[in-house]
A and B are shown apart, each in its own frame.
Chain A
Amino acid sequence: MLSFELFLPAFLAVKNGFILTLTITLASFALGQVLALPLALALNAKGKALRVPASTYTFLVRGSPLLVQLFIVYYGLGQIEAVRQSFLWPMLRSPIYCAILAIGLNSAAYAAELLAGAIRQLPPGQWEAGRSLGLCSGVLMLKIILPQAYRAILPAIGNELVLVMKGSTLASAVTVMEMTGAARVFVAKSYAPFETFLIAGAIYLLLGAIFGRIFRFIETRTTTPGR
């Protein structure tokens, strides 16, 4: 049923999208992680003024599909006059930037909940010890709380990177020719769905495995001795 002579042209077609897949994945993952930290701190804030907007944001983002969010960013934002006037408009017109923005904003909500949970799980003694040593709250957060929280969620962050990679396929729905989009175009031309999607799937699996390896390496490097 599979014709092997189609594998090579399928591979050549799919590989054109690889760089875009990698770019979108890494850029949105980075954006998500950068936004996740302030969001997580806001989720754990004492005052309602920070906590309520942050938890509303994560509730809305985690409650709706990524595809809808992507369409809101790509098709919806352009409808607002203020957005079209702003200096960001040249970026927001490009589907690639929109995909990175939407996937990053989505990932930020999930990562923030992870991080906020990890911070809450730390024993209160960590804060007490830090304060009794006379550390101000910024240093306490930076040197004591966050390193432990990040170490605890490192495997989950690795998981999040794979989820972002899987999410990057949605960019094909807004005309970005990343791997899945390229594969779909090739299928329309060659009528060889199995060969093409299997090749694309294999590359995704490989990429996911590499991400997993990298995170396991970081984990072994950052575990506290004696644990």
Chain B
Amino acid sequence: MLDALLQYRGQLLQGLEITLIVGVASFLLGFLIAAVLAPLAVYGNSITRRIIMGYVGLIRGLPELLVIFLVFYGGTVLLTKLVGEYVEVDALTAGIVSLAVVAAAYLTEILRGALVSVSSGQWEAALSLGFRRPRAFHLVILPQMMARALPGLGNQWLVTLKESALVSVVGLEELMRKSVVAAGATHQPLAFYLAAAGLYVMVTAVSNLAFKAYETRLTVHLR
């Protein structure tokens, strides 16, 4: 069992690298989208607000695997029709895009909640001190908002990282897919899936510690 694991060690670590790339890329992309949508969901007009909340509700109700299939197979058909010849969306792009679309919905909700929880008195105080709105947001609202959003953000990062395993179903060579291939080749499924689980747990444990440390730094003023 150990021999097989050692033999495929390089493959698994390569897979872990892809897993981290997909996780980080889709989390960052999702965060960028959410950073635009969340303020619009709070300060926008009623139509914008309704559209954004509709998107959030829609994605929260849909299984992630279905979104991945929709982007992967749907993207291929769409691009093929647009270009006029057969184009296949590669699994990496499809994975990052679909996970980002999912993460963006949850992150919008997290950031929106954090933004709403900063009391309007903070805005009034900042404006009455003569700050302009962008500067008031940057110096007064944003730090308080981020302190409140951080637990949610950390949680969503872990969710996105774990969801990246689903992209293996459409053939992306990340940690899960590498373990499937190695398990098939060596007839040692238990060893390889346990090893994969162990690697995921390791990453989540390290991320947890990092987020906890950052949180204690950001919330010094609350203690």
Contact = CB atoms under 8 A, between A and B. Distances in A.
A189 B177 CA distance: 25
Contacts of A208: 61
Given A75-B183, A165-B63, A67 B166 contact: yes
B69 A77 contact: no
B66 A67 contact: no
A80 B191 CA distance: 11
Interface string A52-80: 00000001101111111101100111111
Contact of B200 (A64, A80, A191, A192): A64
Contact of A68 (B58, B165, B188): B165
A204 B64 CA distance: 11
The bracket for how many chain A residues form the interface is 35 or more
Interface stretch (B45-53, B71-79, B103-111, B209-217): B71-79
A77 B190 contact: yes
Nearest to A159: B60
Given A60-B197, A77-B190, A191-B77, A169 B70 contact: no
Contacts of A168: 63
Contact of B63 (A69, A79, A169, A191): A169
Nearest to B184: A75
A201 B190 CA distance: 33
B197 A69 contact: yes
Interface in B155-173: 158, 162-166, 168-169
B70 to A, nearest CB: 4
Contacts of A183: 66, 69
A197 interface: yes
B70 A201 contact: yes
Nearest to B75: A193
B145 interface: no
A170 B193 contact: no
Contacts of B60: 162
Given A191-B77, A193-B77, A205 B176 contact: no
Nearest to A67: B165
Contact of A197 (B70, B81, B158): B70
B196 interface: yes
B42 interface: no
Given A72-B197, A197-B74, A204-B61, A79 B189 contact: yes
Interface in A174-200: 180, 183-184, 187, 191-194, 197-198, 200
A107 interface: no
Contact of A170 (B65, B74, B158, B189): B65
A172 B194 CA distance: 21
A63 B196 CA distance: 11
Contact of B62 (A59, A184, A191, A201): A201
A76 B63 CA distance: 25
B193 A76 contact: yes
Interface string A73-96: 001111110000000000000000
A169 B200 CA distance: 21
5 contacts: A71-B189, A165-B63, A172-B65, A193-B69, A197-B74
Given A1-B81, A63-B205, A67-B176, A209 B190 contact: no
A75 B190 CA distance: 7
B5 interface: no
Nearest to A166: B63
Interface in B136-183: 158, 162-166, 168-169, 176, 179-180, 183
A205 B81 CA distance: 28
B66 A169 contact: yes
Given A66-B165, A205-B62, 20 more contacts: A1-B81, A63-B204, A64-B162, A65-B162, A65-B166, A68-B193, A68-B200, A75-B190, A75-B193, A76-B189, A76-B190, A167-B63, A169-B63, A180-B63, A180-B65, A180-B66, A180-B69, A193-B70, A193-B74, A205-B58
